[in-house]
Amino acid sequence: MTARPYDLIVIGGGAAGLTSAGFMGKVGGRVALIEREHLGGDCTWAGCVPSKALLKVGKMAQTVREAAKYGITTSPPQVDMAAVRAYVQATIDEIYQHETPEVFGKNYNVEVIIGEARFVDPHTVAVGDRRLSAKKVIIATGARPTIPPIDGLADVAYKTNRNIFDNDRLPERLLVIGAGPIGVEMAQAHARLGAEVVLIDERLLPRDEPEVAEVIQPILAREGVRFVSGLVAAAQQGGERDITLTLKDGQTFTGDMLLVAVGRTPNTALDLEKAGVDYAPDGIIVDKFLRTSARHIYAVGDCTQGPKFTHYAGFQASIAGRNATLPFINSNGHDENVPWVTFTDPEIAHVGLTEAQARERHGDKVKVRHFSLRDGDRTLIEGDAEGFIKMVYLGGGRLIGATVVSQRAGEMIFEFLLAVKGKISLSGLVGLMHPYPSYSDVVKKAASGLVIDELFKGVSGWGVRLLGRLLFKTK
């Protein structure tokens, strides 16, 4: 068919693609959004939404089990996996109602095309027998589960985040390869629903501060998750529900379901060579303005080399949308201070540099302060005292990194994000009135200890002590 001129073609209808397409559509540009499956992408269909829905069900089951310590007598929870699956699907469906092609296309003046996109040349994209041309293109194709090169794995009926939520049957023993966020979240959720779980990786939560695993591993263990440090060498399928994993050290583990959760691989099979777009195994290469090697083509989110989070993809997509739409604006689409949350119970949230990263960059100038949640009033009230707040900072109390382990860590991290980005100082944060007894007050209490410590150090400390002696000098 004859090529049709668009102002912008967006390839990929996940969180990033919807954001970019919606922006130009709203300002009056002619936009085509191409998506091969469903609008909403992995976040809606196989990631954030279904995983958090399943975690919610697991938390409900665990709450029932632990009710006795609050003086409430209950019976052990009975789990109906068909009903659990229905709840997860209903949650997906409710969110998708705002993302259907009809609703999104009408609300944002965007033509939505369902199909597989391939570049024909730098300005032309093929979808089936259609040829679409545009002045600008934004690639937002996301990523897919990484499948490790394990001997025999291809012959095993394993699960990934793409199909783990389709189960009507709770496994008796779930084997999980990969102890990053997806693996740990799904391990805890299934254990709380009643499965025995074996979680295998070299390290538990390897991207986080080492203190995180020291808190999370005992919690997982008492809930039925066994963490095994090692690497899987081979996988073998016996019967329909008989899977065996052999580790490189010779240990073997059997289960009736296997989840592979070792990371994400960018989706780059778009004939990028025909468009002159450079890419590497870890994603499409972009500059600080999110432009590819073909300057009229942008790439955002999980398909690039940057952090792979929905919120970061949305952040980049809004910037790429502006940069592509408004030629007199070139905003930086990279930010090293990306907050993240692993939605275990307790949650794990982080922003900025870890202690190791900070010491590599700043050496002996780095200082660290820990705050135990046992010292927070609201955390004690909620039975949320096992976690901590870790603050990594430089002289004068300049915060450069923070980690929170708490039931509400995802909400607590935001004030630290503001401090790390320089939007507010820790002393300014402490000076704000926080409602009591709230989780935000726990953040304030943690920060106030650091601020007071810094106040009484060096020249400022000498001045404060001198002033005290002058004001309160005894006769």
Instruction: Summarize pLDDT for 60-112 with one digit per residue, the tens.
Output: 999 999 999 999 999 999 999 999 999 999 999 999 999 999 999 999 999 99
Look up the CATH number of the domain holding residue 127. Answer: 3.50.50.60
For the segment 116-175, what is each residue's pLDDT rounded down to a tens digit?
999 999 999 999 999 999 999 999 999 999 999 999 999 999 999 999 999 999 999 999
Q: Identify the band that residue 463 occupies on the pLDDT scale cut at 50, 70 and 90.
A: low
- Three-state SS for 222? helix
User: Is 428 found in the same domain as 378?
Assistant: yes
Look up the CATH number of the domain holding residue 351. Answer: 3.30.390.30
User: Is 427 found in the same domain as 320?
Assistant: no
Helix (H) or strand (E) holding 426: helix 426-431
DSSP 377-403: HHHHHTT--S-EEEEEEEGGGEEEEEE
Which residues, listed in sequence order, are joined to residue 255 by a DSSP beta bridge? Answer: 243
What's the pLDDT at 460? 59
For the segment 209-222, what is each residue's pLDDT rounded down to a tens digit?
999 999 999 999 99
Q: Identify the band that residue 328 occupies on the pLDDT scale cut at 50, 70 and 90.
A: confident
Q: Identify the band that residue 4 occupies on the pLDDT scale cut at 50, 70 and 90.
A: low
Q: CB–CB of 168/281 below 8 Å?
A: no
Pairing of strands 388-394, 367-372: antiparallel
Count of domains in the chain?
3
Residue 2 has pLDDT above 60, yes or no: no
What's the pLDDT at 1? 47
Pairing of strands 243-247, 232-237: antiparallel
CA distance 335 to 318: 13
What's the pLDDT at 459? 55
Residue among 412, 23, 65, 127 nearest 7 (CA): 23
For the segment 408-439, what is each residue's pLDDT rounded down to a tens digit?
999 999 999 999 999 999 999 999 999 999 99
User: Is 135 found in the same domain as 44?
Assistant: yes
Is 474 a domain residue? Answer: no
Residue 461 has pLDDT above 70, yes or no: no
For the segment 283-292, what is each residue's pLDDT rounded down to a tens digit?
999 999 999 9
Average per-residue pLDDT in the chain? 95
- Three-state SS for 280? strand
User: Is 257 found in the same domain as 168?
Assistant: yes
Q: CB–CB of 303/320 below 8 Å?
A: no
User: Is 220 found in the same domain as 110?
Assistant: no
Q: Which domain holds residue 398?
A: 346-459
